[in-house]
Structure 1
Amino acid sequence: MRLTIREYLESLKGQKVTVLGIGVSNTPLIQMLLRAGAKVTACDKRGREDFDGRIEALESLGAVVHLGEDYLDYLEGQDVIFRTPGLRPDVPQLMAARERGSVLTSEMEVFFQVCPCPIIGVTGSDGKTTTTTIIAGLLKAAGYNVYLGGNIGKPLLPDAEMMEPEDFAVVELSSFQLMTMDLSPHIAVVTNLAPNHLDVHRSMGEYISAKENIFIHQTAEDTVILNADNDITRSFAPGAPGKVRFFSRKEEPEGPSVFLRDNAIWVSDGKGSRAVLPREEILLPGDHNVENYMAAIGAVEGLVDDQIIRDFAARFNGVEHRIELVRTLDEVRYYNDSIASSPTRTIAGLKCFPEKVILIAGGYDKHIPFDDLGPAITQHVKCLILTGDTSSKIRSAVEQAPGYAEGSPVIQEYHEFRDAVLAANKAARPGDVVILSPACASFDHFKNFMERGDAFKKIVRAL
């Protein structure tokens, strides 16, 4: 029998609890633990000046705070340690703490233990946030009370006490969150898998293994939605403990599935099929968004009426930083696709446009190969503006791609992000598309992809 959130918090009263990472998502967790009577220590490698007064506010509530590069040196004697998702669970300090008897957990792991309502979880290399947002939007449109959170930016554990059994929790789950999970959601979605986050994961095998945790702990009554067009996700089916529903843009899978036929999304229960959503009624552009809708429709099958799906698709204009139209200036359209922190995501974005575009790319090096990105750029890009740590790697991938000819595309490199955006503006002519779709993480110059996207929008709006 699962604990309630009240029972769990009661068990922490008077306990020594450390929270690693004082980000926006962990701050509500720290506040909740303090209210529950836990003796809370909050640790972060950043300095006090990076928190805009948040540290002082937590200290005023009773938290003990340790900041700086030695932030992991204060774990001795702690009863419970909440790991921030980006921190590997096998770093020496955490392993030593576990050997001393500390319980290592995370906000999401505890949420899965205490959540009183069905959980729909979404993971994948690309499309997680849009698919998660669509699922939550469809359920809300159908009249359900929905809690949306996880890797999308909102912790759900502080909301658990308000949840009712008839509600739904819809959570985006990263590989970092899934690494140590021993519970799976009732409905799991895997959008796709490709090399990603290999700067943190030791191998592609470890990355895949982490993703498998989203369904491997399901029961026979649970369901996993898998992308049949992706070799890795398709291979998950034989190991799934619950029911499997495939989605595919390229074929009509046998059994329960979601697929594309006659330019519409169809659903099959394995015996018969029906048309649910004409592609032309989807406001979001691109094949990848058709796949996002397929995954979402697979997740809400039996919960949301088809007409509600059609009405939602006709009005939903996407999530910020995901092929977001910033403005049209002198007949040039500027798009912010800062979320594209992997080559596969950038390739999908490029395919949304019939014309060749002006692409701004480059950023922090996650040690992901750019072999597939090079040919896509030669096919879809007229002018490539590079910036960030990976500029030379992307340039090399393009210049070595089949079909590359000098000047096609034109390639320019700039150290400063602002200079790159201004160069794209200078290169643009009426009718052109300028898109920021970096194919890399943002950490070389920005805190996260949102800050990078906001910087791009600020520069573009000032042109």
Structure 2
Amino acid sequence: MATCLVIGNAKSGNAAARLLNQKGYTVTLTDMQRIPDKEELETLGIRVVDEGHPDFLFNDDYAFIVKNPGIKYSVPIIRYFVEHQVKIYTEIEIASWYAEKFHYGAVTGTNGKTTITSMLYECLKANGRCEAAGNIGTPLSELALKYGNEEKDIALELSNFQLLGIESFHPEAAVVCNLAPDHLDYMNSVEEYYASKFRIAMNQRGDDWFLRNVDDPIVMQYARDLKCKIIDFSLLRTDTPLCIKDGCAWLFDKRLFKLDDLKVVGMHNVSNAMIAGAMAVKLGVSFKDVEQALTSFKGIEHRIEYVGEKNGVSFYNDSKATNTQAAAIGIASFPKNILLLAGGHDKGIPFEEMRAYDDRIKCCLAFGETKAKIAEIFTRSKQCETMFDALNEAWQMSAPGDVILLSPACSSYDQFDNYEQRGDLFKEAVLKIIHE
């Protein structure tokens, strides 16, 4: 059997290495860090090269490379294989080879991916054979290894990093929910970022569905020459197959849900529910079961998540807002008196979009690498070193009726491992304030 190299351990690399090993490949797994389960992997027959990428890795003739999606193509070991024209995949592509009976509702876009995927998963539960995977947490390769060729409906969240490494992956329903500048520290241009998102539809054909957001001009610019069935949707128009009329969301003139019955707030969540509901219908869920699932959905952690209240001051965790557009959605959820905590790793994206909400911001407490850039956006602002400093400053200046909102508009990598850790630590700090 052929030889392959998996670069980057984490969840997805580890799962891909195990899957390929089971399928008979000669697998090498390498990572710059120590791989904790090295002995177990070696017992399975996987060669593990951790704590660096030594030169002997370049000596083998690899059938293909599996790259962790977070590793940039500019990293020397990746650049070497690009230059030598070795195929480079992500684990999504690998998993799809060995899960021929999986049916995918695939979700990408700049903001809302996790909420849509979570909503879709709740809808798919009605069929009793579903899983959630991809960027939402569980590697698809892990499911392929576990279930093989069992019939499964998969709610699949995909980043553009994962989509850059696909070749034959084929979803039956797909969406690019919206587009805004992001990941400019990884991509060569914003146009390249946008184009990478539409790889989600490159293998769709015939009766496959692509849900097209006609309210988003950038989506409309890139959603061209698709070879599948296009299902247009809108929050503003009533002439699209998926739309809002008379206080309800409709798909082909059949009701998906009543807007007033949703437990999540904001028109962005109405759009998210419309997308998830339509994708679930495509994957065989009844309209009745879709409506029940969507109207029972209570939201996801770290996305405009209510943490608590003290002395009339409310605290919200929106740590998942890792770009400007997402932060703008979080800010727009509150009419005034916002003490905004924003900042983090500089991804090279502009923050100007948040300036439109300046009148809602009582004060922006900017922190991290981007503190100076974000502080410039708002009339009332103060620079802090850490998120915890920003929270303490916000609490000191707060008054009854204020909202303390963590909506960073940046990724977390300057001070935290990921947005989940950032959100969890924020909530811990808030609960200390509430209970002291």
2:8 corresponds to which of 21, 36, 46: 21
Deviation, structure 1 residue 446: 0.9
Residue identity in the other structure for 1:180: G
Q: Do structure 1's residue 297 and structure 2's residue 277 form an aligned pair?
A: yes
Q: Do structure 1's residue 372 and structure 2's residue 348 form an aligned pair?
A: no
Deviation, structure 1 residue 307: 2.9
CA distance in 1, matches of 2:293, 2:424: 27
CA distance in 1, matches of 2:382, 2:55: 42
Residue identity in the other structure for 2:210: V
Residues 16 and 38 in structure 1, CA contact (< 8 A), matched pair in contact too: yes
| Number of the residue aligned with 1:395 | 375
Q: Which moved more, 1:293-302 or 1:340-349?
A: 293-302
| Number of the residue aligned with 1:335 | 316
Q: Do structure 1's residue 144 and structure 2's residue 125 form an aligned pair?
A: no
Residues 19 and 144 in structure 2, CA contact (< 8 A), matched pair in contact too: no
CA distance in 1, matches of 2:43, 2:396: 51
CA distance in 2, matches of 1:427, 1:163: 56
Residues 307 and 430 in structure 2, CA contact (< 8 A), matched pair in contact too: yes
Deviation, structure 1 residue 110: 1.4
Residue identity in the other structure for 2:337: K
**What is the aligned length?**
428
1:416 corresponds to which of 386, 404, 410: 386
CA distance in 2, matches of 1:286, 1:159: 33
For 1:135-165, what per-residue CA distance to the aligned partner results, in whole angstroms no more than 9, with x for missing partners?
111011x223112101112112232252556
Deviation, structure 1 residue 132: 0.8
Residues 287 and 348 in structure 1, CA contact (< 8 A), matched pair in contact too: no
Trace 1:52-63 onto structure 2 (pairs within 5 A): 53-55=36-38, 57-59=40-42, 61-63=44-46
* CA shift in 2, pair 1:100/1:439, >3 Å: closer
| Number of the residue aligned with 2:70 | 86
Residue identity in the other structure for 1:385: L
Deviation, structure 1 residue 88: 3.6
**SS at 2:120's partner residue?**
helix
For 1:261-316, what per-residue CA distance to the aligned partner results, in whole angstroms no more than 9, with x for missing partners?
23321223xxxx24331211111111211111111122123533333233223321
Q: Which moved more, 1:97-106 or 1:363-372?
A: 97-106
CA distance in 2, matches of 1:182, 1:174: 15
| Number of the residue aligned with 1:283 | 263
CA distance in 1, matches of 2:404, 2:54: 42
What is the TM-score normalised by the length of structure 1?
Answer: 0.85
Q: Do structure 1's residue 323 and structure 2's residue 304 form an aligned pair?
A: yes
Deviation, structure 1 residue 450: 0.9
1:455 corresponds to which of 419, 425, 434: 425
Residue identity in the other structure for 1:176: F
Q: Do structure 1's residue 427 and structure 2's residue 397 form an aligned pair?
A: yes
Residues 33 and 40 in structure 1, CA contact (< 8 A), matched pair in contact too: yes
| Number of the residue aligned with 1:230 | 216
For 1:230-270, what per-residue CA distance to the aligned partner results, in whole angstroms no more than 9, with x for missing partners?
0111234431110001111111244xx211223321223xx
Q: Which moved more, 1:342-351 or 1:79-88?
A: 79-88
Residues 359 and 381 in structure 1, CA contact (< 8 A), matched pair in contact too: yes
Residue identity in the other structure for 1:393: K
Trace 1:40-439 onto structure 2 (pairs within 5 A): 40-46=27-33, 48=34, 53-55=36-38, 57-59=40-42, 61-68=44-51, 70=53, 74-79=57-62, 80-89=64-73, 91=75, 93-97=77-81, 102-115=86-99, 116-140=101-125, 142-160=126-144, 162=147, 166-183=151-168, 184-254=170-240, 257-268=241-252, 273-301=253-281, 303-376=284-357, 378-399=358-379, 410-439=380-409
**SS at 1:213's partner residue?**
helix
For 1:8-55, what per-residue CA distance to the aligned partner results, in whole angstroms no more than 9, with x for missing partners?
xxx4xxx43321111133323333444555443322233x3xx6x444
* CA shift in 2, pair 1:92/1:28, >3 Å: closer
Which segments of 5 or more consecutive residues in structure 1 lack a partner in the other structure?
1-10, 400-409
Q: Which moved more, 1:57-66 or 1:382-391?
A: 57-66
* CA shift in 2, pair 1:233/1:102, >3 Å: closer
What is the TM-score normalised by the length of structure 2?
Answer: 0.90
**SS at 2:102's partner residue?**
coil
Identity %: 32
CA distance in 2, matches of 1:166, 1:106: 23
| Number of the residue aligned with 1:407 | none
Residues 345 and 412 in structure 2, CA contact (< 8 A), matched pair in contact too: yes
| Number of the residue aligned with 1:30 | 17
* CA shift in 2, pair 1:29/1:216, >3 Å: closer
* CA shift in 2, pair 1:326/1:54, >3 Å: farther
CA distance in 2, matches of 1:167, 1:327: 38
For 1:412-432, what per-residue CA distance to the aligned partner results, in whole angstroms no more than 9, with x for missing partners?
211022111222222222332
Q: Which moved more, 1:154-163 or 1:241-250?
A: 154-163
* CA shift in 2, pair 1:284/1:98, >3 Å: same
Deviation, structure 1 residue 118: 1.8
Q: Which moved more, 1:220-229 or 1:21-30?
A: 21-30
**SS at 2:118's partner residue?**
helix
CA distance in 2, matches of 1:159, 1:72: 33
- The two structures, once aligned, show a CA RMSD in angstroms of 2.4
Residue identity in the other structure for 1:159: L
CA distance in 2, matches of 1:124, 1:320: 19
Which segments of 5 or more consecutive residues in structure 2 lack a partner in the other structure?
none
